[in-house]
Amino acid sequence: MQAQTNSGDLLNGFSVDVEDWYQVADFAAVLGFEDWDRYESRVAANTDRVLALLDEAGGVKGTFFVLTWNAERHPEIVRRIAAAGHEVASHGYAHKLIYEQTPEEFRADVSRAKNILEDITSTPVLGYRAPSFSITSRSLWALDVLLELGFRYDSSVFPVRDSLYGLPDAQRFPYVIRERDGRCLTEFPITTTPLLGRNLPLGGGGYLRMLPYPYMAWGMRRVNRAEGKPAVVYIHPWEVDPGQPRLKTAGKRGFSTHYVGLGGTEAKVRRLLRAFRFAPIRDVLGLA
């Protein structure tokens, strides 16, 4: 038996951005949206691996932000996610960075994605996560679009400084970010922990893959215990797939981190699931 931590009874959000190994910003220069159909799809098998991980951890429930291009081709994945009691939310349709779209293009992408998911699950989609956390100072209008489309929460703002994303001075914990005509949109920012005047990214994804597990556990304990606030963790199905094909690319930041640490991610997720309490984001925010 693993020792239980004393992180209290605080519920954290566990989230999965359901995209395939080739649908990432790092590969955009060598492999665009129009090429997606030419690559081997591994998203169904990898999502099943994540579902099994959550099940093995005692039936932990999470939020799956589904990239809807995948939902069109594999609606059974969405059905399996919903049937297992997880929340189905939206990661948009085509994984285009928001600040590279016009508000009209963004609205069309997200509205199409929301409708497709709601047709498959017959359940309203409450949450949205932007591709590569691309709600930044250049694309804050996206929040108004989300509110208009009926979303109840967004989980895309990353209060860090990064070349690809980030709103370094944004609030770090859930708050109402837009409100109009009696409706509101709550933001659940990607989790950070402050140190020496900066916010260190926790979150998950590449940070969980590349940094040692104790860093993540230390940060989450600080957030849960010292600050008494919920964290939100995210992973991608391709991050538990060390056997995925290898592409050569320079990456969006001039280097690619896509393949670093793939072999150890599953074990780190297992440890996190044992050490902290998790739930779907809608439940953590009390929107269910």
Nearer to Zn ion, 130 or 272 (CB): 130
- Helix, strand, or coil here: 183? strand
Min. distance of Cβ 237 from Zn ion in angstroms?
11
Min. distance of Cβ 17 from Zn ion in angstroms?
4
- Helix, strand, or coil here: 232? strand
Min. distance of Cβ 21 from Zn ion in angstroms?
11
Count Cβ atoms within 10 A of the Cβ of residue 75 and give its class: 0-12 exposed, 13-18 middle, 19 or more buried: middle
Q: For residue 206, give the amino acid letter.
A: G
Sign of CA dihedral 76, 265, 156, 192: positive
Min. distance of Cβ 18 from Zn ion in angstroms?
9
17 near Zn ion (CB under 5 A)? yes
The piece of 18-26, 35-43, 109-117, 135-143 that touches Zn ion (CB under 5 A) is 18-26
How many residues bind Zn ion, per CB under 5 A?
3
Min. distance of Cβ 90 from Zn ion in angstroms?
11
- Helix, strand, or coil here: 204? strand
Nearer to Zn ion, 131 or 166 (CB): 131
Residue window 25-44: x/- pattern of binding to Zn ion, with contact defined by CB under 5 A: --------------------
- Token match 């590969």: residue? 27
Nearer to Zn ion, 16 or 167 (CB): 16
| Per-residue CA distances from 52 to 59, 60, 136, 239, 276 (Å) | 9, 10, 34, 14, 18
Residue window 80-119: x/- pattern of binding to Zn ion, with contact defined by CB under 5 A: ----------------------------------------
Min. distance of Cβ 30 from Zn ion in angstroms?
17
The piece of 73-81, 126-134, 162-170, 213-221 that touches Zn ion (CB under 5 A) is 126-134
- Helix, strand, or coil here: 284? helix
19 near Zn ion (CB under 5 A)? yes
| Per-residue CA distances from 50 to 17, 75, 230 (Å) | 11, 17, 22
Angle between helices 75-83 and 103-121 (to 10 degrees): 60
Q: State the residues that interact with Zn ion by CB under 5 A.
A: 17, 19, 131
